[in-house]
């Protein structure tokens, strides 16, 4: 790893060079949405960098690796050929530590199992990740409660830390080095690195202070003791759930999907993958007659419990990683104002 210091103007020149690749980054708006393909001719690199000083974007990195809906290929009367997956080289700018942690989780799911997921692998390999420390955070951010920090120490190609007078730029891979191109920055000084440590320490403390009301601590190796989904304690929260699936869509680790087939032409069939949600009744529903039990979780409280248990209890068992990175997006998204921090706080024994 090499750590540089750049003025905003110099870093902006580096960002200018990435125009050949699709840059996914935070859009300069109040709400900081991800742009699907940012047209940097419309937005100056300087204003992109300024936007990075705002809290995390509304959407996470998930959709870049696992689109909401995608074709998995066509099939018919011949053996399926290796499908060429068309993905442009992409630079993702402004990824936060919580999203990198979520990406590590998705890597475990889609790349470390018995079978590698070809389209996830293709997208992952062609993506260069430029992460950024948080110097502001949302009211719903709680990474410190689940063993996270508002800055990344790994998992990126380049990491940025905004300081008052410029940027600390940490390069961690060859991909990252290539991104800097012709820009020749100076190494960060000890004094600059000390200021980075200071920013990081203060931000961590501020996120922890914001969450003082919550006393649980969870993480990759520490699952809170939550009641199983048959317990009535869940009903209090399920009563506020409108079963919209917003929390699972916005979650950076939720990866459940649904496969369906369509017929784009005569004797041509296509298999499509689309996001699905374990909160929805139809998600579990099996075929069968009226006298049969068609869903193992007919009650909404069981489905809500299953989601939270998967994040906090099952994921550490399955992957050695927590399924919740404390990004707080599900809290923002929920029309019923369900706060997963409160759920864990009140139900953990």
| Residue ranges binding another protein (CB under 8 A) | 72-83, 109-110, 113-115, 117-118, 228-231, 255-263, 267, 269, 271, 273, 276, 278, 283-289, 292-293, 296-297, 302, 305-306, 309-310, 313-315, 317-318
CB of 264 to another protein, least distance (A): 9
* Residue 164 phi, psi (nearest 5): -65, -35
Q: Which is nearer to another protein, 77 or 182 (CB)?
A: 77
Q: Which residues lie closer than 8 Å to 88 by C-beta, 6 or more apart?
A: 21, 22, 126
Taking the complex as a whole, the smallest distance from the CB of residue 70 to another protein amounts, in Å, to: 11
Nearer Cβ to another protein (42/289)? 289
Q: How many CB atoms lie within 10 A of CB 66?
A: 21
Q: In sequence order, what are the beta bridge partners of 197?
A: none
Contacts of 253 (CB under 8 A, 6+ apart): 62, 102, 105, 106, 311, 315, 323, 324, 325
Dump the DSSP string for 96-126: -HHHHHHHHHHHHHHHSSSS--HHHHHHHHT
Nearer to another protein, 182 or 267 (CB): 267
Query: Minimum CB separation from another protein for residue 83, in Å?
Result: 5
- What's the min distance (Å) between Cβ of 73 and another protein? 5
> Maximum distance among all alpha carbons in the chain?
73
How many whole angstroms separate alpha carbon 57 and alpha carbon 34?
A: 6
Nearest CB to another protein, comparing residues 288 and 335: 288
Smallest separation (angstroms) from another protein to the CB of 322 = 13
Tell me whether residue 292 or residue 337 sits nearer to another protein (CB atom).
Answer: 292
């Amino acid at each position: 790893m090499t750590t540089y210091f750049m003025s905003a103007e110099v870093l902006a020149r580096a960002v200018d060079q990435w125009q050949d690749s699709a840059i996914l980054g935070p859009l300069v708006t109040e709400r900081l949405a991800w742009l699907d393909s940012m047209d940097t001719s419309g937005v100056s690199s300087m204003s992109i960098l300024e936007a990075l000083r705002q809290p995390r974007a509304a959407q996470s990195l998930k959709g870049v690796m696992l689109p909401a809906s995608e074709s998995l290929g066509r099939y018919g009367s011949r053996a399926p050929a290796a499908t060429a997956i068309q993905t442009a080289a992409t630079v993702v700018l402004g990824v936060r530590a919580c999203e990198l942690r979520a990406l590590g989780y998705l890597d475990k799911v889609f790349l470390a199992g018995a079978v590698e997921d070809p389209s996830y692998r293709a997208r992952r390999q062609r993506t260069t990740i430029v992460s950024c420390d948080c110097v502001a955070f949302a009211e719903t951010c709680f990474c410190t409660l689940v063993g996270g920090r508002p800055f990344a120490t790994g998992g990126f190609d380049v990491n940025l830390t905004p300081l008052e007078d410029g940027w600390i730029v940490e390069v961690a891979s060859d991909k990252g080095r290539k991104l800097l191109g012709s820009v020749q920055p100076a190494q960060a000084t000890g004094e600059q690195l000390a200021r980075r440590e200071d920013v990081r320490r203060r931000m961590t403390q501020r996120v922890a202070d914001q969450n003082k009301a919550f006393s649980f601590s969870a993480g990759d190796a520490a699952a809170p003791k939550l009641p199983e989904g048959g317990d009535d304690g869940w009903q209090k929260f399920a009563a506020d759930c409108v079963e919209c699936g917003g929390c699972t869509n916005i979650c950076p680790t939720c990866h459940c999907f649904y496969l369906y087939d369509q017929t784009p032409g005569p004797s041509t069939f296509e298999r499509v993958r689309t996001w699905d949600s374990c909160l929805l009744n139809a998600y579990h529903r099996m075929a069968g007659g009226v006298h049969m039990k068609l869903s193992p979780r007919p009650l909404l409280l069981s489905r809500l419990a299953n989601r939270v248990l998967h994040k906090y209890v099952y994921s550490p068992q399955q992957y050695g990683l927590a399924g919740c990175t404390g990004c707080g997006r599900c809290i923002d998204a929920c029309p019923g104002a369900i706060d997963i921090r409160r759920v864990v706080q009140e139900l953990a024994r």
